[in-house]
Amino acid sequence: MQQAVISITSIPVTEITNFIMLLLLLRLRYLILTEENIQKSSPANYIPDGIPIFAEENLPDLIKKYKVNDCVFSYSDVTYQKVMSVSAIVNAAGANFVLLGPSDTMVKSTKPLIAVGAIRTGCGKSQTSRKVIELLMEKGLKVVAVRHPMPYGDLNAQKVQRFAVVKDLEKHKCTVEEMEEYEPHVVRGNVIYAGVDYEAILRAAENDPAGCDVVYGTAEIMIFLFTNQTL
């Protein structure tokens, strides 16, 4: 029986039989992993040949060809109808449809953690995050922010990114989109981390040279934003 370990960072995410990672190829702004980048960034001990990428329309055939047991839905900004449509396709082809929960996707921190999530893009996570950090800083706490990655370039070089001054934006060759997210933090005086190795980022944030009382990232306290607007 084949075993597969799939990782998009330097640590394994999970280990299951005949696992296929589904990647969205429909919207370019969310396509952060190219085949070349995955092969270069994947740990050789776990995925010596890299992670193959397949078109989603071939999913039923792939399930049958590779005798897939589990398919994990791994992209966002889609409707409930879209998610359940994919679930029906997967189940009809004979595989399990899986949505990973917090216990399988969150890294435990040694510091108090606060996080902001939302039902979709555009709800105001960034603004809410900055306001909560501002309130914590007013209490005299040293807050380190951790943002989910927007890695469009060399994933090895973007393993752990620390932004403490504006010059760091140039150092890490940030895109305009990344600058819009990181600059408000650094000009206000709080450090923000990003990158692709979640555990390494979290450990760096906990031990930030400027000090860290609270990590703002992945969650003991979860603030979740809803909107009545549709996608």
Q: pLDDT tens string for the chain (231 positions)?
A: 333 322 223 323 333 223 333 332 222 222 233 444 444 454 445 566 667 788 888 999 999 998 999 999 987 778 889 999 999 999 999 999 999 887 787 788 888 888 888 877 788 888 888 988 898 899 898 999 998 767 677 778 888 999 999 999 999 988 888 898 899 999 988 899 998 888 899 999 999 998 888 776 555 677 777 766 554
pLDDT at residue number 152: 72
d(CA 21, CA 205): 28
pLDDT in the model for residue 93 = 95
Cβ pair 193, 163 in contact under 8 A: yes
pLDDT (0 to 100) of residue 86: 94
- What are the extents of the domains in the chain? 4-102, 106-225
Please, what sign has the CA dihedral across residues 209, 205, 77, 32? positive
What is the predicted pLDDT for the residue at 25?
Answer: 28
So what's the pLDDT on residue 55?
86
Contact 7, 46 (CB under 8 A): yes
How many C-beta neighbours within 10 Å does residue 143 have?
25
pLDDT at 46: 56
pTM for this model (two decimals):
0.69
DSSP state of 180: H
Q: Which of 101, 98, 130 lies closest to 223, judged by CA?
A: 130
Contact call for residues 96 and 204 (beta carbons, < 8 A): no
Quick one: pLDDT at residue 1?
Answer: 33
| b/e code 70-107 from CB counts within 10 Å (16+ = b) | bbbbbbeebeeeeeeebbebbeebebebbeeeeeeebe
pLDDT given for residue 218 in this prediction: 53
The identity of residue 200, as a single letter, is A
User: What was the pLDDT predicted at 161?
Assistant: 93
Which runs of E-coded beta strand occur in 4-124? 4-6, 14-16, 19-21, 70-72, 96-98, 113-118
